[in-house]
Structure 1
Amino acid sequence: MKEHPEGGTAAALLADPRIRRRLPTAGTALGAGLAVWLLGGWRLGLTVAVLVVIGDVVRRSRKTSSVTAWQKSSAAERRTEKQLKSLQRNGYVVLHARAVPRDDDGVSDGRIDHLVIGPSGVYAIDSEKWDKRLPVRTMSHLKLFHGPFNKKDRLDEARWEAQQASSILAARCGFEVPVQPSVAIYGPSIPWKVMRVRDVDVYAGNRARAYLRRRPKILTEGDVERIFEAAQQALPPKYPD
């Protein structure tokens, strides 16, 4: 019996999940291009097909994340993750979705969205997506409101998680490791750059990168590496692959 390598190659390609995910896009692009070609010529048809493919690539890139659990629904976390990538050239390293102990009152979900370690220190960033129709305001640096809703629980959660990370990392490293909690808010307008409320830094989500820039250096390269290694070992991924 003759072998048919072409058939085997086609089967292998179809078995590849990356190829299967792109088949609907290819079909849509081909269909749209063919329809426009019949009506307006092959050049216009080809242009439409290319635009369909480009649109799909852009859409998929917005959903790309190193944390599988974030790829479908957690747009806020993905947006912060994307901003933090550019800080690597400045000596920062980032761990996403790391597990910490829950508190007895159930305030914390036991997850730090983004643990950032760099020359200026260690930061626990919580990414939040809030209703953009409601204003955000503070009261004497002690209370945070989103419309009529007191967001004390979000501040308590961020502070608790940072404290847990600080204690765990200090035990591993053998020296104090302060971890500054912060909340990056997407959706509503934030009428300040950075405001510290109940010891938690609060700012607009699109300022996450700027929040970490232009700070005084307090950690050496060796400190950053040591803390990063300790965090990798002591703060496991919240969503193991």
Structure 2
Amino acid sequence: MPGGSIYVPQDDKFTGASPQQMYEKFWAEGAKERWIMRGVKAAIGLAVGIGLGIRFSLPSPVLTGIVLAVVVAVADAVWSWKKHEDTAVWRGKRRGEVITARILRRRLTRHGYRILNGRAVRGEASVDHLVIGPGGVWIVDNEAFGPDVELAQYGGRLFFGEKYGSRHAKELNEAATALAEVLTKQTGIPLTIEAVLAVHGGYMRRNAVIAAEGLTLVRPRRVPDLILKRGMAALDAEQIELLARTAARELRRLG
């Protein structure tokens, strides 16, 4: 294991392995155990279903048990797949910026928002997404974390597991300031740009929104809700168009 211990002998099969490789290995090795546990859960579902069928005098208690067993097995399989799929960006199987861009486009364009992906101030900051609309201007970046990394804020500071999240907050706040200065100078529209980090993987409380150090952390699917609820700038259609055209012209496109 990375870091190791002087009390535990090193296992050669883990030497040089990344956390992602180790996760994949453990996941593959745990397949048999997951199938066994799924069978146990299905058997419990079968017994409960038969018991309920008898208790409520249903026409076919055995069929009721079989149906419940199948439902339990399918639900367990779906939960297991989702748990693994939640690590896809961290494992490099999917791209976080592509996922978030699709969500932003689908949810926000019908509300009058313009989405510019992969933009940078020349020689300075870069961001994954620039969102311009009636509620104001936002930058959204993406970050992937391992499944055991808990994201939280304590005493006004961000924590990514045992590490401070201050560097991420500082970089994104500086990017927001740089972009705001460019757009304000070129359009004459006073702007304050808010920074959001779309979190892929890691552990956050269900539906949590973490805000500290000038940065808001949220799951990608909830970024549009955050923007729609918290937007306060009240930009009109003409200003949105001007800002979008100026951003497209002045900000370098990445990739």
Gaps of 5+ in 1: 1-71, 104-109
Is the CA contact (8 Å cut-off) linking 1:100 and 1:112 kept in structure 2? no
Is the CA contact (8 Å cut-off) linking 2:152 and 2:210 kept in structure 1? no
Compare 193-202 and 115-124 and name the one that shifted more. Answer: 193-202
Give the secondary-structure state (helix, strand or coil) at the position aligned to 1:94: strand
Gaps of 5+ in 2: 1-91
Aligned partner (choices 109, 112, 135) of residue 88 of structure 1: 109
Q: Distance in 2 between matches of 1:215 and 1:164?
A: 22
Q: What does residue 127 of structure 1 align with?
A: 142
Is the CA contact (8 Å cut-off) linking 1:96 and 1:115 kept in structure 2? yes
Superposed CA RMSD: 1.9
Q: What does residue 254 of structure 2 align with?
A: 238
Deviation at 1:213, TM superposition (A): 2.3
Cα deviation, 1:83-133, whole Å, max 9, x if unaligned, reads: 011211110001001012556xxxxxx311000001000000111111121
Give the secondary-structure state (helix, strand or coil) at the position aligned to 2:127: strand
Deviation at 1:238, TM superposition (A): 1.9
Q: Report how many aligned residue pairs link the two structures.
A: 161
Q: What does residue 76 of structure 1 align with?
A: 96
- Letter of the 1:91 counterpart: G
Deviation at 1:79, TM superposition (A): 1.0
List structure 1 segments (4+ residues) > 6 angstroms apart after TM superposition.
none
Identity across matched positions, percent: 24
With over 3 angstroms needed to count, the CA separation of the structure-2 counterparts of 1:195 and 1:137, relative to structure 1, is closer
Cα deviation, 1:4-46, whole Å, max 9, x if unaligned, reads: xxxxxxxxxxxxxxxxxxxxxxxxxxxxxxxxxxxxxxxxxxx
The TM-score with structure 1 as length reference comes to 0.62
Aligned partner (choices 100, 118, 121) of residue 100 of structure 1: 121
Is the CA contact (8 Å cut-off) linking 1:124 and 1:182 kept in structure 2? yes
With over 3 angstroms needed to count, the CA separation of the structure-2 counterparts of 1:92 and 1:176, relative to structure 1, is same
Q: After superposition, where does 1:71-220 map in structure 2 within 5 Å?
A: 75-86=95-106, 87-101=108-122, 110-141=125-156, 143-191=157-205, 193-215=208-230, 218-220=234-236
Q: Distance in 2 between matches of 1:102 and 1:235?
A: 10
